[in-house]
A and B are shown apart, each in its own frame.
Chain A
Amino acid sequence: MAITLSGDQAMPAPPLSSRLTPAQVWGIVLLAPYLLVFLAFVVYPVCYGLWLARAPANYVALYNDPIFARAAVNTLIFLVIGINVKMLIALFLSGFFAVQRTWIKWLSVIFILPWAVPSIPTILSVRFMLNPEWGVINHLIFSLTGDDGPNWLNDPTVALTMAIGVHIWKSLPFWTLILITGRLAIPHDLFEAAEVDGASWWQKFRYITWPSMQTLYITCTLLSMIWTLGDFNSVYLLTGGGPADLTHVLATLGIRYLRLDQLSLAMASIVCAMPFVLPLVYFMMKRLSR
């Protein structure tokens, strides 16, 4: 009895490899490279960053920095106006591009360009168009009215509006493309039936298009919020955060602190955005796991 017991206890657990089929071993081996990348370049930086942001002194410093308050307000304006305007235009244009015409097909090929080409040359091109002395816009204003045009990027409100415009210019094609896919997935006979019943344009949108695209539209809006929060290029390349650091958003502010070698302040400013980001992330993860 005692012998059996001790024998039972001494029985080693079967080695891991014998419990797994060869296919499963290969599965782990093939998944390993990505897991390593994820641990080294996502998990570690995120944890390390949070650890850097732990000191309460950072938040006091942020609270006392007028640039931070301004950047937080700018970010909110950027998100609320930029994303809603962009998504509404995208929804509207997805209907336009769904119309069967040869020239519209060609236009859709051109329309994708802002998204396909890199941001830096095109944003700098816009920046130069807005140059008060040499830019083409003020040239036009001068030749039409004889007056000097405004110094566009020197006014924080105008400069931020222009940055929002650049952001929309760059990302509108992508969201339009996604919404076109959603719109094309609606069964066509629904529209034909509505046509027979004499439905108006608005009724077709209200009772067929919108109900089938609602979920996609809202998901896109939320995803676009997260991505727009991380949009560094539109503001940095157009205004550089100026004039007088009045057009910073959180994305450019974090990098500004980083360049000033205030890494913990940079991380703290990002942590301040978390109460806003986390609900979005939670919602998106829930949608994904369904």
Chain B
Amino acid sequence: MKLPTLREVATEARLLLIGIPVFLWTMIPIYHMFLFAISPKEDAFSGKLWPDHPTLHNFEIVFKQQHYFLRDFYIQFWNSLVIAASVGVLTLFIATAAAFSISRLKVPGGRAVMNLALFTYFIPAAFLAVPMYRTMGNYGLLNNHWSLILAMVTIASPYAIWVLKQASDKLPVELDEAAVMDGATTLQIFRLVYLPLMMPSLVAIGTYAVLLAWNEYLYAFLLLSNDREITLPVALGNFLAADDSPWELLMTTGFIYALPPAAIYYAFRRYMVGGLTAGAVKS
């Protein structure tokens, strides 16, 4: 076995000197949350790095809704799920149609529409939220799931259109031309040629929209207020209202809430990183 040279050891040590703080910085808040979730109430406050008696009791309380703050846990979880799924489906539908129209059908003014759409991101999120709240009130949608779904679709779509347009610009024009020669209608091209070829990007965008909606706090907190209509993050925020908040249960619920996006992210990472950062370098 070849011994590493002094220079190699020094390089490795320097890398570790960066790597270890990065690891700790990233993991401490997440580990702290996990630690609370598996600690019995007395242990949670003792400041230990690992509880003396790790337990799943907190999860049991959450899943059986055995606390005042958790009495609507399942319905709130379900609300989060339905809203995230609807935002995913609706964003995919709207953005795919728009990207096909701009990139393949070359609709007049299409590029201008896309640039206008991206303008949405130049309005700071919390600034748009204020008039959006009033707008939803004017439309009579406050405290209705549709308000949050439509708000999130508004925010997810421009990016979705942009990514999908970049991806569909890469498909050769000859495909469409060949299909037209064979007598295919526009809709047939969309369904039979375009959609199958765009699958990887569609998965990335669907995942992106679902995660965005699932993780959203501000809009959910403004637009929904009824205990049985709110999503999980709003319920978690409501824990703060009380002085005697059961922190170990808050952290347990938070952990359960954070698991699906982390899992989805890792499951679709292959699509996400490639599909979503593709345009970054170009800009």
Contacts and interface: CB of A to CB of B under 8 A. Distances in A.
A287 B115 CA distance: 11
Interface string B18-57: 1100110111111011001000000001110000000000
Nearest to B264: A116
A265 to B, nearest CB: 10
Contacts, number: 274
Interface residues of B, number: 93
> Which of A121, A126, A232, A240 gathers most chain B CB within 10 Å?
A121
B123 to A, nearest CB: 7
Interface string B74-104: 0000000000000000000111011011100
Contacts of B95: 34
B151 interface: yes
B217 A120 contact: yes
Nearest to A117: B258
Interface in A12-30: 22-24, 26-28, 30
B65 to A, nearest CB: 18
Nearest to A165: B25
Given A112-B265, A263-B134, A139 B47 contact: yes
Interface stretch (B167-175, B197-205, B248-256): B248-256
Contacts of B22: 93, 96, 107, 111
A229 B124 contact: yes
B281 A31 contact: no
Contacts of B128: 42, 45-46, 230
A35 interface: yes
Given A129-B29, A169-B25, A107 B131 contact: no
A38 interface: yes
A252 B105 contact: no
B187 interface: yes
A1 interface: no
14 contacts: A28-B101, A33-B93, A33-B97, A38-B120, A96-B22, A116-B261, A116-B265, A120-B237, A120-B254, A123-B29, A237-B237, A254-B130, A255-B222, A281-B119
3 tightest A-B contacts by CB?
A121-B254, A230-B124, A139-B47
Interface of A: 22-24, 26-28, 30-31, 33-35, 37-38, 40-42, 44-46, 48-49, 52, 93, 96, 99, 101, 103-104, 107, 109-114, 116-126, 128-129, 134, 136, 139-140, 143, 169, 173, 177-178, 181-182, 185, 216, 219, 223, 226-233, 237, 240, 250-252, 254-255, 258, 263, 266-267, 270, 273, 277, 280-281, 284-285, 287-289
Given A33-B98, A124-B239, A181-B277, 11 more contacts: A24-B108, A28-B101, A93-B18, A104-B19, A107-B23, A114-B29, A118-B233, A125-B33, A125-B36, A139-B46, A270-B127
